[in-house]
Amino acid sequence: MRPRFAAAVALTTTAAIALTGCTKKNETDSGVTGDAGSKTYKVAFVPKLQGVPYFEAMNAGGKEAAKALGNVEWLYQGPTQADAAAQADIVRSYIQQKVDALIVAPNDPDSMAPLLQQAKDAGIHVATADTDAPNSVREVFVNQATAQGIGEGLTDALLKEMGGKGKYAIVSCGQTAENLNAWIKVQQEYTKSKYPDAQIVDVVYAGEDQAKATQMATDLMNAHPDLTGLVGECTSSAPGVAQAVKDAGKIGKVFTVGLGTPQSMKPYLRDKSSSAAILWDVENLGYLTAWAGAQIAQGKTIEATNNVSGELPAVTYDASSKMLLLGPALAITDQNVDQFDY
């Protein structure tokens, strides 16, 4: 269990930021811990991409939840590239294995929807986590934070450094990623309404390729000499845009923020090529994902408020949208980055 400390960083009134305190996740109450003598339920999670710090942190949290619950076998496998077809093959494999619950962070929500239907037809409980497939039969979506909170948090963090005005661009990852596109939409609308003197000049897509994100950010700065801001919309483009600013010698002239994992962003936060990483506790997201899988596998009702663990004592669930919400986003800066070991 990594050491963590209670902290809080305010982004906006509507996007309040909070860090959870240090407790042991396996110290759960009787409503959370499973009966070790009961059936073992196979809960499979298919991330967008295996081997990157973000999803490996989710995997660590899932393993921890399985251990605490006692009656869950946590299965984890994703494609080695952010490829919808490769991800679909893994999903089909889990359907053939007849797991009890199948949870996916889809690269392409629309193409994943028929596969989730196949899983349901095979008697498997299905869910999404991190990224939704809203037009599917998924029983629950484990959401890291609201799109509004993330989009506003990214915008406020960047425009604070830009003095509330100027031109900026967004380097995203997968063009079909439901969560990234939802955040970008919020950024576009929020920038227009709150920052009339600021403008988003372009949105480009680098896939899950940090080097490509760096090159695209470099190209954007060359195409727009008056650009003063860049957003890295995912955990590979966040360090990518910061690296581009560093390579161009524009630290303090072009400001960056992004959705980066703490340790990957640490050197950029320290040298000021990045001002902040807007994220959430990724291990807690993995823990909540495994917990949700266990609930649906056992046919349990998810309540409006759920005591999931010592660190997650009041997780809310919206029955109308079937969304289980981890909580508000986190602002990770050079002041608190050392509190996270992933």
Residues 6+ apart with CB under 8 A from 49: 55, 78, 79, 80, 81, 82, 208
The residue ranges of every structural domain in the chain are: 41-145+281-326, 147-278
Looking at residue 37, its pLDDT comes to 52
The pLDDT value given to residue 33: 44
The residue among 151, 149, 195, 143 whose CA lies nearest residue 172 is: 151
The CATH topology of domain 147-278 is: Rossmann fold (3.40.50)
pLDDT in tens, the chain (342 residues): 343 323 333 343 333 333 333 333 333 333 444 444 579 999 999 999 999 999 999 999 999 999 999 999 999 999 999 899 999 999 999 999 999 999 999 999 999 999 999 999 999 999 999 999 999 999 999 999 999 999 999 999 999 999 999 999 999 999 999 999 999 999 999 999 999 999 999 999 999 999 999 999 999 999 999 999 999 999 999 999 999 999 999 999 999 999 999 999 999 999 999 999 999 999 999 999 999 999 999 999 999 999 999 999 999 999 999 999 999 888 999 999 999 989
Q: Read off the tokens for 244.
A: 């581009």
Please state whether the predicted TM-score (pTM) of the whole model is above 0.95: no
For residues 121, 103, 148, 259, the Cα torsion angle rounded to the nearest 10 degrees is -150
The tokens for 323 are: 């969304």
The predicted structure's pLDDT at residue 216:
98
Amino acid 8: pLDDT:
31
The span from the CA of 322 to the CA of 313, in Å, is 19
Domain pair 41-145+281-326 / 147-278, same fold: yes
Token readout for 24 is 């042991």
**pLDDT score recorded for residue 38:** 77
* Of 126, 110, 73, 150, residue with least CA distance to 331: 150
Find the distance separating the first CA and the last CA of the chain, reported in whole Å. Answer: 12
Domain 41-145+281-326: CATH superfamily is: Response regulator (3.40.50.2300)
- Of 123, 132, 82, nearest to 104 by C-alpha is 132
**Alpha-carbon distances, residue 298 vs 39, 125, 197, 318 (angstroms):** 10, 9, 53, 19
